[in-house]
Amino acid sequence: MDDRRPGIRPRPSIWRRLDSTARRSFPTAMTMLLLLVTAAPFRLPGQAELQNAAALSCVFFWSVYRPGSMPPPAVFLVGLLADLLDFAPPGVGVISLLVAHGVAVRWRRDLIRLGFLPVWLAFVVVATGLAGLQWLLTSALTLRLLPAGSALFQAALAAGLYPMLAVLLARAHRTVAEPANA
């Protein structure tokens, strides 16, 4: 909260600064927590794809609506955690999430003015492209052609998961994660 009016203002207390820091780091922390929850041994079919879809949805949402709270180093750490939890070839999750972040930040000015449906359609395009990129990178790094079914399933799962997560993340965006409320 940067007040530009002249005058004397007291320095913010340590508690206010901690609150502001916690609110700014909320998107990254919650994305990492969601990754840990989806990596728990629930023995769900398609759990690895669910984990990737959740991480992609969160990174895309926060990169569009609060890019300052989801900077590239944080996206790198989220991707690294996703790679470690998913046992994917190293770097695949990092690269795909950084690409998603870059695309979201690049399209941010246009997307932020639009309603939910165009943002969701843009996300579906990004998720489909990234599922293909992950399939290609994983096939190249394992030196064998993998079946494309899991990439298509991951894209469809991400497209279906985004609206549900967007509702929760939008509520957090207006309340818990808002640094101006600190």
Q: How far apart are CA 84 and CA 66, in angstroms?
A: 26
Q: How far apart are CA 173 and CA 162, in angstroms?
A: 15
Look-up: residue for tokens 């955690």? 81
The pLDDT of residue 176 is above 90: no
pLDDT at 22: 85
Percent of the chain with pLDDT over 90: 70
Residue 71 pLDDT grade (very low, low, confident, very high; cuts 50, 70, 90) = very high
pTM score, whole prediction: 0.88
- The pLDDT of 7-18, averaged and rounded, is 79
Q: How far apart are CA 74 and CA 152, in angstroms?
A: 27
Which of 28, 30, 23 is CA-nearest to residue 74? 28
pLDDT at 47: 87
**pLDDT (tens digit, 9 = 90+) per residue, 88-145?**
888 999 999 999 999 999 999 999 999 999 999 999 999 999 999 999 999 999 999 9
Three-class HEC string of 1-58: CCCCCCCCCCCCCHHHHHHHHHHHHHHHHHHHHHHHHHCCCCCCCCHHHHHHHHHHHH
DSSP state of 114: S
The letter for the amino acid at 1 is: M
- Greater model confidence, 8 or 105: 105
Axis crossing angle, helix 149-174 with helix 14-38, rounded to the nearest 10: 160
Please provide the average confidence, as pLDDT, over all residues in the chain. Answer: 90
Domain residue extents for the chain: 14-181
- Greater model confidence, 181 or 166: 166
